[in-house]
Structure 1
Amino acid sequence: MTFSTHHPATWLTGYIPDLPTPFDDAGEVDLGAFRRLCERQIAAGATALVVGETTGEDSTLDHAEHTALVRVAVRASRGRAAIIAGAGSNSTSEAIELTRRAEADGADAVLSVTPYYNKPTQAGIYAHFRSIADNTRLPIILHDVPSRTVRELADDTVARLAESPQFAGLRDATGDLARPQRLRVLTGPRFRLLSGDDTAAPAFLVHGGDGCISITSNVIPEICQQLYRSCKEGDLQVARALAMRVGRLTAALSKDSTPAPLKYALSLLGLMSPRLRLPLVELADSAKPEVAAALRIVKDAECFQENVL
């Protein structure tokens, strides 16, 4: 099965992990650990995996490393989950090259961020994404994260791009909880609206969102998938109880530069090293107890889940 032959509306849903990139003692990409992260998420029911994007420290990866990560994810998936490759840049030509590489490596879609640093106009942003689309057959998921790019992706620009079915959805990290309802009217039901903010994700889902590209689900994938189902099924009592427990972990994972707290949490679970690449550094010792405590509480929620669901 090749996910790119199916409309993304069938798999752009639920909690989709933005996977971190593990590094070994020598600072090289640990492909074995990365493969295990992929397999863990697929076993938990993830319909797609994001590879080599924000949480994956894409800005410190060279092209060969990015290619290796995508290929490992494709092999680990074996058609059980779609592979979404990070392929954004503030250079349109580089974004096109990254997208072409992702397509050649077997990715099912790309996640492409609004150009950062350059401060383009909405006309420039539209032309940037249209140029990428003209150079690939892959579905494109837009990534709007103005806290990092200093430029928003305006609703009207999203709507113009969504007129082409090649633009499959939006990762919205604005925190604007009214946006799913606004964009649904402008884009139609097949364009997928995904929260890019774990803190806002439960409310985003209740307000009509289709899922979340998530940091927190890297740590507790099963609980996040159940939270999604509870929100979409209208079981708000269970959703609120799960969201409270997930929320404390999300808060702890947001205390420092992404993905330092996440990598530390995963190291406590024995899944990977906490190492990062400069200019990012490992989580400060003073912040580690909060992450560990939140992890203990949310692991207790697994017992809660078994008792009430």
Structure 2
Amino acid sequence: MFTGSIVALITPMDEKGQICRASLKKLVDYHVFNNTKAIVSIGTTGESATLSQEEHINIVMLTLELADNRIPIIAGTGANATTEAISLTKRFEKSGISACLTVTPYYNRPTQEGLYQHFKAISENTDLPQILYNVPSRTGCDLLPETVARLSNLSNIIGIKEATGDLSRINKIKELVENDFLLISGDDTTALDFIQLGGQGVISVTANIAAKEMVQICSYALKGDFVNARSINKRLILLHEALFIEPNPIPIKWLAKKIGLIKYDTLRLPMTSASNYTQLKLEKAIQHANITKY
């Protein structure tokens, strides 16, 4: 269930910044229909940074309810305080959540030993499968391959979302971990190359509006058919790049509204709506990708 195209789901909000249940249901149904392999609820793309912990929990549980066992739900449970990450993780035990995605502690910039002890403490306090999440551009710290290898020896740490965009990381990690340890890309632009080098899939921002295409790319790539995979990916390259002209999830929310998947592109401050320049780039990207409107 944790291979192929996994979506880093946006959190749809109404014009007042409250959760829009109707749009969330539409998004979940869209991913079920297009055979997305799993949904990550309340990761970076889901705006975890501007939600209260109770909102965070409630949205994950609502997503689980709307999924109704049709698609696995992975809960974002990261925090920069270990006790908070443990508390959040424990709230999802026996809930039906399939796994947790746990980002490296942000802002406080722990050492490698601190990172190891952080994830070890979480692992020891839950039976839920844990997927590490390394995104140094956001967090200010980098989970190095040697530390990943140490953590891979803990029974319920099953893989890593590697979002550095550095393809050399794949071999460095693969050399140090067992074959069943999952390597999942967190960077749409390099995801196809990541899979070709031995990764098992991608946790994708692009999949929010191009679910079918991302599923096809991953399916072809995992079967070794890189001709067809690259043919589809070529259409999405401008989109992969345009989605990060401004900080995620500003562009993807604007596009999700544009194609009719959500009603509003509301974000909570300090995030603001896409600029006119970004909108023009996004329009060009979806035309090039030939994305269907809903």
- State the 4+ residue runs in structure 1 displaced beyond 6 angstroms: none
Q: Residue 119 of structure 1: which of 109, 131, 146 is its match?
A: 109
**Higher RCO structure (Cα 8 Å, ≥6 apart):** 2
Distance 2:291 2:203 in 1: 24
Matched, 1:77 2:67: yes
Q: Residue 286 of structure 2: which of 280, 295, 301 is its match?
A: 295
Distance 1:30 1:276 in 2: 12
Distance 1:270 1:252 in 2: 19
The 1:263–1:300 alpha-carbon spacing in structure 2 relative to 1, beyond 3 Å, is closer
Residue 200 of structure 1 aligns to a residue whose secondary structure is helix
What does residue 211 of structure 2 align with? Answer: 221
Matched, 1:284 2:275: yes
Distance 1:146 1:48 in 2: 24
Residue 290 of structure 2 aligns to a residue whose secondary structure is helix
Q: Is the 8 A contact 2:259 2:292 kept in 1?
A: no
- One-letter amino acid of the structure 1 residue matched with residue 279 of structure 2: K
- One-letter amino acid of the structure 2 residue matched with residue 116 of structure 1: Y
TM-score, with length taken from structure 2: 0.95
What does residue 237 of structure 2 align with? Answer: 247
Distance 2:223 2:247 in 1: 34
Distance 1:24 1:300 in 2: 24
TM-score, with length taken from structure 1: 0.91
* Unaligned residue ranges in structure 2 (runs of 5+): none
What does residue 208 of structure 1 align with? Answer: 198
Distance 2:75 2:201 in 1: 17
Q: CA deviation at 1:104?
A: 5.2
What does residue 28 of structure 2 align with? Answer: 38
Residue 199 of structure 1 aligns to a residue whose secondary structure is helix
- One-letter amino acid of the structure 2 residue matched with residue 164 of structure 1: L
Q: Is the 8 A contact 1:178 1:207 kept in 2?
A: no
Matched, 1:49 2:15: no
Distance 1:71 1:51 in 2: 9
* Unaligned residue ranges in structure 1 (runs of 5+): 1-10, 303-309
Distance 1:102 1:300 in 2: 35
Q: Residue 274 of structure 1: which of 259, 265, 285 is its match?
A: 265
**Residue deviations 1:236-274 (CA, integer Å, cap 9, x gap):** 222222111111111111111111110111101111111
Residue 216 of structure 2 aligns to a residue whose secondary structure is helix
What does residue 8 of structure 1 align with? Answer: none
Structure-to-structure mapping, 1:153-168, within 5 angstroms:
153-168=143-158
Distance 1:27 1:223 in 2: 30
Q: State percent identity of aligned pairs.
A: 38
The 1:301–1:204 alpha-carbon spacing in structure 2 relative to 1, beyond 3 Å, is farther
What does residue 132 of structure 1 align with? Answer: 122
Q: Is the 8 A contact 1:201 1:212 kept in 2?
A: yes
Residue 187 of structure 1 aligns to a residue whose secondary structure is coil
Q: Is the 8 A contact 2:257 2:265 kept in 1?
A: yes
What does residue 237 of structure 1 align with? Answer: 227
Distance 1:87 1:215 in 2: 18
* Number of corresponding residues: 292
What does residue 6 of structure 1 align with? Answer: none
Q: Is the 8 A contact 1:111 1:140 kept in 2?
A: yes
Residue 53 of structure 1 aligns to a residue whose secondary structure is coil
